């Protein structure tokens, strides 16, 4: 299993798989097969895939621990960047066809419609994460600060779910499903954070005694 996870070809294969939703939408666009409301189809397709990739990214750490497969970490950055890629497309389908690239109009809409405000906030939160996703930035910020910053992916996912919940008119099953997934992942994370904190006092007590003795 480890050989498979660390193979360069697995990474290439996952990269190609992550592009399939984009290729599908592009193909439907080129062949004029986007249905009666092409803009809506693009908006919904890219929005759905943004949320899915956020969930995939958040699944990596629990899966690494539960399945004892630390090498899964190799795919986290790529999945996160794909979430960002799809949200950029999603945003462009809004800014272009919806707002005709009128930034002033866009700001008014962001301020006026709560579900747009929330979606936009989630998008803004993801920008620094995409920028600082490189190893150079991890080094520059330091592991702890980098980790703290990257925890905002949870906020982005929660806001993404609220955005989805607010925009659907009647059938809320899908946003509720994503909401449940994000809640489970968040609770798992909080659980492991609390259990780590519980085991910390012993580290704090032993640390000074080491330095005094030393």
CB of 102 to ligand HEM, least distance (A): 13
3-state class of 32 per DSSP?
A: coil
Please report whether residue 60 would count as binding ligand HEM according to CB under 6 A.
Answer: no
Torsion angle of the four alpha carbons 203, 209, 210, 214, in this order, in degrees rounded to the nearest 10: 170
**Binding to ligand HEM (CB under 6 A): which residues in 112-141?**
116, 119-120, 122-123
Please report whether residue 94 would count as binding ligand HEM according to CB under 6 A.
Answer: yes
List the one residue out of 166, 13, 153 whose CA is nearest residue 83: 153
Q: Closer to ligand HEM at the Cβ: 85 or 164? A: 164
Position among 34, 40, 88, 92 found at the interface with ligand HEM (CB under 6 A): 40
CB of 54 to ligand HEM, least distance (A): 6
CB of 116 to ligand HEM, least distance (A): 5
Which CA distances in Å does 2 have to 29, 57, 117, 183? 39, 20, 43, 30
Count Cα neighbours of 198 within 13 Å in the Cβ-side half-sphere. Answer: 6
Please report whether residue 185 would count as binding ligand HEM according to CB under 6 A.
Answer: no
CB of 74 closer than 8 Å to CB of 1: no
Binding site for ligand HEM (CB under 6 A): 40, 43-44, 47-48, 50-51, 87, 90-91, 94, 98, 116, 119-120, 122-123, 156, 160, 163-164, 167
């Amino acid at each position: 299993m480890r050989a498979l996870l660390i193979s360069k070809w697995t990474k290439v294969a996952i990269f190609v798989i992550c592009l399939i939703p984009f290729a599908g939408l592009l193909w439907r666009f080129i062949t004029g097969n986007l249905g009666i409301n092409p803009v809506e189809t693009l908006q919904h397709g890219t929005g759905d895939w943004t949320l899915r990739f956020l969930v995939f990214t958040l699944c990596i750490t629990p899966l690494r621990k539960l399945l004892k497969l630390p090498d899964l970490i190799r795919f986290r950055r790529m999945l996160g960047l794909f979430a960002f890629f799809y949200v950029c497309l999603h945003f462009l389908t809004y800014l272009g066809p919806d707002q005709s690239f009128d930034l002033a109009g866009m700001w008014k809409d962001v301020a006026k419609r709560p579900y747009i405000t929330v979606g936009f906030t989630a998008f803004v939160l993801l920008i620094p994460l995409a920028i600082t996703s490189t190893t150079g930035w991890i080094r520059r910020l330091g592991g702890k600060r980098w980790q703290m910053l990257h925890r905002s992916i949870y906020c982005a996912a929660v806001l993404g779910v609220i955005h989805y919940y607010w925009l659907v008119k009647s059938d809320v099953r899908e946003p509720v499903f994503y909401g449940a997934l994000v809640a489970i992942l968040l609770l798992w994370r909080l659980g492991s954070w609390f259990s780590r904190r519980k085991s910390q006092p012993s580290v704090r007590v032993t640390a000074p005694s080491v330095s005094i003795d030393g």
